[in-house]
Structure 1
């Protein structure tokens, strides 16, 4: 699939064998980690140019814009690559729940015990 992603950005990305990079969504003002999704080059391009998070659904094999069906929109504040360029951090202003379960974050319901 062709993408409109800036070639300079595309050249830096280190993708999985299926062409994806993990994208962490974080609340921009509190630092709260909200969710993890997957992006290919086109999803990243759409995220950078529309101001709304676009992800690639591995199960449905299609793009989805966070909030289009739920109303729980992610307004993009910034996008950064990690030091290895294999993960994207998207700082967002989350409207409503980030998790498909209806929870604010995908990471608050199953905290694992720490060993001593």
Structure 2
């Protein structure tokens, strides 16, 4: 794994929200990084020879770590996003969706 830190970060704005791009992480095949929230929830990304596991199992590991997984769509652009929502932050997520004109098309953590 190689980490390229951006100092200073590259700041940019998307729909009124400022994002700070602080690092690039280069993973070799079968390497994984875990991202942790202040509350202790975890999210893994694993590199494979064919691409990435972009999320752990949505109805297993993510759910067990306090995340809901939403397939969402921006109503204006039609672009779709996979969003991970801490279950304790649902009110903030719903407010964000209203502000960004997004709708949840499907909760991917629910068993079909």
TM-score by length of 1: 0.30
Say which one has the larger Rg.
2
More strand by share: 2
Of structures 1 and 2, the one scoring higher in RCO (CA 8 A, sep 6+) is 1
TM-score by length of 2: 0.31
